[in-house]
């Protein structure tokens, strides 16, 4: 009987030890799952492109035609309104990555480095970000620029690419940024092509010339590295269905083109980032080389989205559903921008 009792005791003792071991193993697995998920989240890079609509300072620059945005102008552009504008932009940026903002922010329609520094200094999440900016020959003085998260991305190169649109006519430069995430290199082109003011057909040639300047620089990169990962973003002032995009860049919705337009499906569904005469226009686009769709460092095609924060949307009127701008004509509306931003995610496989 004693021997039998000892055997039962050892048996149940063994079961208890096994249970403790299993609990420890499960606890360890849970911790590892959490670590893997956290690591996976850190392996993503979010890019956002946004025409922020006339981000001007309040000071007269004699080298630019910035008279529209001065304290004594008809718009009465004051420091108070500028600060409100910056706060509004930050409010939208906080809609990305749970308040952290995008890792890369490509902006259009900014006046100078000073307004970029204001935005960086006011948005704490951008404290560790670098800024890439060049002054362009645009008569109004508006440029393209780029913020990048230096904790995730190393800067390798940058340059301003001039766009020749004809005699006595200047436009924004195309901004090129070459970066590196770990061992993976990539190139970002930030665009703000000539506007349609004066008529879409009359100004079409200018945008075709901008497309030519962009694709020529892309081809030079591809000559050195045929597998280069390249992304072109910005306000193209044309839609994915227009000649400058489909023929000039060869950007189509699939791999049959020279480049792939991730924003093409929005245009097909009559969605857009900018509303004019009650018509949506997909002017803000994300266009990539096919090499960016595969490999250990790729772009998630499904992640490409128009960011439409509910608090920033107009309600009613001809522009119902559009983003509330800073001005409606001459009327100050204390809004955000007249364009919705577009976001896309880069993924680095472990």
Q: Residues 99-109: pLDDT tens digits? A: 999 999 999 99
Whole-prediction pTM: 0.88
CA atoms within 13 A of residue 153's CA, in its CB half-sphere: 28
CA distance 291 to 297: 9
How far, CA to CA in Å, does 123 sit from each of 52, 96, 163, 308, 338? 15, 13, 32, 20, 21
CA distance 225 to 186: 11
Predicted confidence at residue 42, as pLDDT, reads 46
The helix (run of H) or strand (run of E) holding residue 257 is none
Predicted confidence at residue 40, as pLDDT, reads 46
Handedness of CA 219, 221, 222, 223 (dihedral sign): positive
Q: What is the DSSP letter of 334?
A: -
pLDDT tens-digit readout, 26-67: 777 766 665 455 444 448 999 999 999 999 999 999 989 999
The helix (run of H) or strand (run of E) holding residue 144 is strand 143-149
Radius of gyration for the chain, computed over Cα atoms and rounded to the nearest angstrom = 25
């Amino acid at each position: 009987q004693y021997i039998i009792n000892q055997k039962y005791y050892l048996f149940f003792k063994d079961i208890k030890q096994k249970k403790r071991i299993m609990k420890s193993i499960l606890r360890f697995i849970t911790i590892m799952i959490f670590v893997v998920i956290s690591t996976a989240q850190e392996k993503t890079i979010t890019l956002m492109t946004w025409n922020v609509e006339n981000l001007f300072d309040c000071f007269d620059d004699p080298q630019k035609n910035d008279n529209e945005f001065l304290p004594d102008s008809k718009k009465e552009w004051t420091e108070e309104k500028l600060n409100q504008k910056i706060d509004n932009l930050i409010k939208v940026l906080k809609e990305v990555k749970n308040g952290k903002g995008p890792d890369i922010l490509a902006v259009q329609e900014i006046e100078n480095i000073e307004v970029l520094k204001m935005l960086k200094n006011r948005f704490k999440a951008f404290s560790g970000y670098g800024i890439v900016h060049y002054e362009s020959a645009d008569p109004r003085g508006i440029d393209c620029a780029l913020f990048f998260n230096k904790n995730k991305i190393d800067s390798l190169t940058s340059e301003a690419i001039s766009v020749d649109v004809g005699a006595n006519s200047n436009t924004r430069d195309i901004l090129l940024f070459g970066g590196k995430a770990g061992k993976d290199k990539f190139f970002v082109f930030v665009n703000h092509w000539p506007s349609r003011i004066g008529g879409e057909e009359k100004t079409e040639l200018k945008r075709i010339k901008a497309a030519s300047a962009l694709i020529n620089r892309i081809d030079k990169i591809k000559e050195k590295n045929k597998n280069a990962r390249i992304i072109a973003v910005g306000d193209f002032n044309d839609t994915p269905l227009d000649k400058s995009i489909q023929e000039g860049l060869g950007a189509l919705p699939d791999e049959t083109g020279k480049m792939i337009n991730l924003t093409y499906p929005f245009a097909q569904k009559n969605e857009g980032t900018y509303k004019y005469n009650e018509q949506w226009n997909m002017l803000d686009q994300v266009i990539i080389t096919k090499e960016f769709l595969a490999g250990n460092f790729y772009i998630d095609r499904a992640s490409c989205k128009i960011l439409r924060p509910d608090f920033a949307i107009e309600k009613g009127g001809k522009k119902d559903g559009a983003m509330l701008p800073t001005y409606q004509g001459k009327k100050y509306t204390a809004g955000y921008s007249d364009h919705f931003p577009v976001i896309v995610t880069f993924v680095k496989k472990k």
